[in-house]
Structure 1
Amino acid sequence: MSIQPPTPRTPGTPLSTSPLPEGTMPPPSPPRTPRMAITLAQPSSKKKKPPRSTRAMRAVRSIFRSFPIIGSPACRFPTNVPRASSSTGGARQHDGHVPGASRTTGTLFGYRKARITLAFQENPGSVPDLLLELAMPTGKFMQEMGAEHLRIALECEKKAGERAKLLEEPLWTAYVNGRKIGYAVRRDPSDDDLTVMQLLHTVSVGAGVLPSDMMEVDKQGADGDLAYMRAHFDRVVGSKDSESFYMLNPDGNNGPELSIFFIRI
């Protein structure tokens, strides 16, 4: 019996979809871009505790400090304490620094339609020791920044017998310029948050955008670039139930300022 030669394939006829020959491996998928390495340092508040012997010696010294001192003259504090400025909420020196305050780095960032995130760090190269997510879209918040003075008030309820530090409270009622916007939630930094901090670890003060391709994420609301604003803040501890952060203008002008108040009532 004669075998007919194979007929050529007519143009436009689809190719056969038969499986690959036995023993043939499918082509490998393209490699995924690895996530950026995080080299941020841990804040000093999360470093190792001192040895037990050192803590014991400190406890002994604290007992001796509690003993009364006989015959010592009374000490009076100066009465000419500078009054708080009505425009900034705290007394300022000529360089804009609040006397007696500690300096920290604050960063506001987020996608235009996503909620804005507030992070405080000891320095730009450290992991945030406080990170809050506010119930306000980033685009709306940037519009509010056009106000002469932007004030954010965060309030939480005081519970009987509670010993948690003020900034360790998990949930806050948030107000922007006296208007309630919802809640602010404290959370641990995510991988995306740490990526933002890593990309900005060389930025001490400034504002701008991070292109979406640098973030290596595809999340809801992540349309377009990520906007950020970073500045130095003066941290003022009023009591165990009140703290304030005042943004410092690097150029010393009278431009928009940002004040953030934490209050436990």
Structure 2
Amino acid sequence: MGESRPETSAPTSCRDEAQAPATPTTPKAPITPRQPISLVQPSQKNKKNKPKIVRVFRSVFRSFPIINPTCKFPTIPVGLPTDTNKCSSGTRVTGTLFGYRKGKVSLSVQENRKCLPSLVVELAMQTNVLQKELSAGMVRIALECEKRAEKDKVKLFDEPLWTMYSNGKKTGYGVKREATEEDLNVMELLKAVSMGAGVLPGNSETEGQDGELAYIRAYFDRVIGSKDSETFYMLSPDGNNGPELSIFFVRI
């Protein structure tokens, strides 16, 4: 009988496997980190605690409409206070206009810069157009909607759609929306900013990773005319030249 020999594998197969080139991988684009959201809920002020005489006094003056429907815009008050920490009338809130330069600008209203937005509206205007109009002079934006039947009444800022006018010219429709993740991230990044303008690094599908998001933040004097009209007057930093921007919400 012949001797049996153990089977051996060809050594060349091991060399071929070791020398096989690695499959190339496509590098991933860097992702802009999201800030942890630390904004808090706005306070719920109890109007019933106000003295009755104060409520009656305010109700009388609120019966006078702020906006004249024939000309779309009210008269802009003059003589704003020199101290921007005080409001001439109404309540001071923080307002932020922001958006990608080639995209639509959005308005966010906060009780203060540390609170979650109480109102977010996408305006019918591109951010770069608003910047040009603000640099040219005063801008007045009116957001109008029709009055509902009494049974269908909702709060003014619960209206979903508004016809928008900029300096008397119709530009399209403003749309109310719930604050998105990107909206909240912008408000978080601007939490330490009281007033100012600048740009933030962008992260959108349309603008790309390198797109810049422009913003303008200021204090606004919120004046309630009636249940169908409210106005936000931007308070200028120097307090001497009156508001550069006024935004009117009205049901007509």
**TM-score, normalised to structure 2's length?**
0.73
Say if 2:206 is the partner of 1:220: yes
Count of residues in correspondence between the two structures: 216
Change (3 A) 1:118 1:262: same
For 1:79, the equivalent position in structure 2 comes to none
Equivalent position SS for 2:76: coil
Say if 2:234 is the partner of 1:247: yes
**Which structure 1 segments of 5+ residues have no match?**
10-14, 20-28, 51-57, 66-74, 76-83
Aligned ranges 1:1-265 → 2 under 5 Å: 6=12, 16=20, 35-45=34-44, 89-95=76-82, 99-161=88-150, 162-212=152-202, 217-222=203-208, 224-254=211-241, 257-265=244-252
Equivalent position SS for 1:197: helix
How many angstroms does 1:94 deviate by?
4.2
For 2:4, the equivalent position in structure 1 comes to none
Change (3 A) 1:225 1:30: closer
Contact 2:78–2:242 (8 Å) recurs in 1: no
How many angstroms does 1:141 deviate by?
1.4
Contact 1:88–1:259 (8 Å) recurs in 2: no
Contact 1:91–1:99 (8 Å) recurs in 2: no
**TM-score, normalised to structure 1's length?**
0.70
Equivalent position SS for 1:155: strand
- Output the amino acid matched with 1:106: G
The CA RMSD over aligned residues, in Å, is 3.8
How many angstroms does 1:148 deviate by?
1.9
Larger RCO: Structure 1 or Structure 2 (Cα < 8 Å, ≥ 6 residues apart)?
Answer: 2
- Output the amino acid matched with 1:218: S
Change (3 A) 1:122 1:16: same
How many angstroms does 1:136 deviate by?
1.5
